[in-house]
Amino acid sequence: MQFRTSIPIRKTSIPIDYQSKIISLGSCFAENIGKKFNYFKFQNSVNPFGIIFNSVSLEKVITRSVTKHYFTEKDVFFHNDLWHCYEVHSELSNPNRDSFLKQLNELIDATHTQLREVTHCSITLGTSWVYLFNATNEVVANCHKVPQKQFSKQLLSIHEVETSLQNIVSLVTAVNPNCSFIFTVSPVRHIKDGFVENNVSKAHLISAIHNSLNTEHLKENANYFPSYEIMMDELRDYRFYTEDMLHPNTIAVDYIWEQFKKGYISEASFSTMEEVSTIQKALAHRPFNPNSESHLKFIENTQRKISNLQSEFLFIQF
């Protein structure tokens, strides 16, 4: 007798291994999966411009990165003692304008290089709801606590999301035709928009992704990973949420990662992942007596494992 339904996970024909180079972009759930890639020491970059929830803003920073369209003074503004940019997350904001612009443009250069080299581009969309800055009628990635009266809220249509996604794919494949794409919808519910409004928003994202996947140039090199469906169906219990009852907790993230691993990571990499995990746990170990003979042997053994792993994968660092 079964007491829950399971979401079937299709195996990709282009799995990730330790030679792969991955860039993870999008909502805060992209950070959750990115942290897993980092923990297991894959070659991964996560949200160079910070968390971005909507497809239009993602398209903007990818366009800048691919075309090397650098930020200038007109793209930044001063508010609450910091310089901000409406196209990036507030975690990048800086008290010095010149330093801020320099940092943003260095990120463009770094992301341009990454997009030319990555084998996999993972995109996690969070919402179809966006805010338009009234002065320019442009969609912003972050409002930076500027008074709400300066923005208008709008729901992106399925077609608008789809257009952004197809533009993103065209931009990346123009400089990297061998890149494959993984799309997913964040399982985090945006309840501030309203319960019904959140469902409409997620429905637009899912429809847009699936419409895009059915286009000719994406059929062979793109997949949809059902993280939203796993959270809503398999993990439909509040014990799998953090205290806010909106974000998946550690158990849920671990479970979703395991499903991702089954479908999108090469089985040949599993043994290396186990070795990395063993080393990570050893490095996190705190001994009662750090000078004991047994602990010194433990350190020596761990260092030997690290050296053996690094001899095979030069990029791995602990």
Please give the structure tokens belonging to residue 203. Answer: 């429905």
Rounded Cα distance, 26 and 124, in Å: 5
Q: Average pLDDT of 41-66?
A: 98
pLDDT tens per residue, range 93-110: 999 999 999 999 999 999
Task: Report yes or no: 140 and 125 within 8 Å, Cβ to Cβ.
Answer: no
pLDDT tens per residue, range 153-166: 999 999 999 999 99
Task: Report yes or no: 129 and 201 within 8 Å, Cβ to Cβ.
Answer: yes
pLDDT number for residue 12: 94
Candidate from 41-45, 131-135, 190-194, 285-289 with smallest mean pLDDT? 285-289
Contacts 24+ apart (CB under 8 A), 270-279: 272/18, 272/309, 272/313, 273/40, 275/305, 275/309, 276/39, 276/40, 276/41, 276/309, 276/316, 277/39, 277/40, 278/305, 279/305, 279/306, 279/309, 279/318
Burial 216-231 (b: 16+ CB within 10 A, else e): eebeebbbbbbbbbbb
State the alpha helices, DSSP H only, in 87-245. Answer: 97-117, 158-175, 195-213, 227-229
pLDDT tens per residue, range 258-307: 999 999 999 999 999 999 999 999 999 988 888 898 889 999 999 999 99
Order of all β-strands in the sheet with 151-155: 138-140, 129-133, 151-155
Task: List all residues 6 or more positions away from 312 whose beta carbon is below 8 Å from its beta carbon.
Answer: none
pLDDT number for residue 196: 97
Q: Average pLDDT of 8-27?
A: 96
Task: Report yes or no: 287 and 295 within 8 Å, Cβ to Cβ.
Answer: yes
Rounded Cα distance, 181 and 14, in Å: 10
pTM of the predicted structure, to 2 decimals: 0.94
User: Which residue bears the tokens 């399971």?
Assistant: 6
Q: Is 122 helix (H, G, I), strand (E, B) or coil?
A: strand
Q: Average pLDDT of 138-155?
A: 98
Please give the structure tokens belonging to residue 181. Answer: 């794409």
